[in-house]
Amino acid sequence: MLKQLPFPEKLRHVAEHAAAHHEKLDGSGYPFRLEARDTSPQARIIAIADTFEALTYRDRPYKSDAGEPGPQDHGGHEKRGPYRSGYL
């Protein structure tokens, strides 16, 4: 979807960075299964911002009305994912 937008030349890689923000630095993420050496700093920044927003924003489908994790919460994934010690 983002690739269809007319970004100025200096922002031409925005769609690539956004697409890669679900990658895990061990290569088990999606959509490209990139490893740490192949993941851009920009994609990592977007991933951190997305995680922060997910943890702090109350209006997420997997959170209850009180803003607490709901039944679909996948707590603890940060210990296995790209934010574990030594990856950032």
pLDDT per position as a tens digit, 15-51 = 999 999 889 889 998 889 999 999 999 999 999 999 8
Domain regions of the chain by residue span: 2-59
Report pTM: 0.63
The letter for the amino acid at 34 is: L
For residues 18 and 5, what is the distance between their CA atoms, to the nearest angstrom?
13
| Polymer length in residues for the chain | 88
Higher pLDDT, 38 or 67: 38
Instruction: Give how far the C-alpha of residue 46 lies from the chain's centroid of Cα atoms, to the nearest Å.
Output: 6
CA dihedral 71, 21, 39, 44 (to 10 degrees): -90
Asked whether 58 and 77 are in contact (CB, 8 A), the reply is no
